[in-house]
Amino acid sequence: MYNGGKILFGILIFLALVTFPFYNDIGKANVRPEPKINTPEIQKLSEKQCVESQAFMKANHMTLLNEWRDSAVRGGNRTYVASDGKKYTISLQNTCLRCHSNKKEFCDTCHSYAGVNPYCWDCHIAPKGAKK
């Protein structure tokens, strides 16, 4: 005799096991990083804005940093004119990380979530971990 019940039960167990890794991850994957922008330097700003819009920075800060490096190192140009006309000194340490002095709570939270580990800090000086 053919036992439909047992087979169905077996299939359900099988499905539960093979999909477990996915739903077991759901909680973790949904904990989106919340990069903190409450640094002393940012608190002093009258307008809480980055060199470009937040959406642009979120998507393009890596390319922007590459452009900055090429501009400074190859072009010898250390002034960045933002799309709103404001001028910034091209410097990872003295510009980006002066505002974002909380590298751990800002850059690093996002990067560990995204699984990227920029090698910049092999050479560039990051703010001390304890500094907020």
Binding residues for ligand HEC, rule: CB under 6 A, are: 35, 37, 42, 45, 48-51, 54, 57-58, 61-62, 64-65, 68-69, 72-73, 90-93, 95-96, 99-100, 106-107, 110-111, 114, 116, 118-120, 122-124
Nearest approach, Cβ of residue 13 and ligand HEC (Å): 38
Considering just the CA atoms, what is the radius of gyration of the chain in Å?
Answer: 23
Identity of the residue, 23 or 119, whose beta carbon is nearer to ligand HEC in the bound complex: 119
Burial of 68 (0-12, 13-18, 19+ CB in 10 A): buried
**Rounded to an integer, what is the distance from CA 60 to the centroid of its chain?**
11
Identity of the residue, 19 or 79, whose beta carbon is nearer to ligand HEC in the bound complex: 79
Nearest approach, Cβ of residue 26 and ligand HEC (Å): 20
Nearest approach, Cβ of residue 28 and ligand HEC (Å): 17
Identity of the residue, 40 or 118, whose beta carbon is nearer to ligand HEC in the bound complex: 118
Identity of the residue, 18 or 81, whose beta carbon is nearer to ligand HEC in the bound complex: 81
CB 106 within 8 A of CB 33: no
Nearest approach, Cβ of residue 10 and ligand HEC (Å): 42
101: CB partners within 8 A, 6+ apart = 39, 40, 41, 127, 131, 132
Nearest approach, Cβ of residue 20 and ligand HEC (Å): 27
Nearest to 48 by CA among 32, 36, 66, 34: 36
**Rounded to an integer, what is the distance from CA 36 to the centroid of its chain?**
11
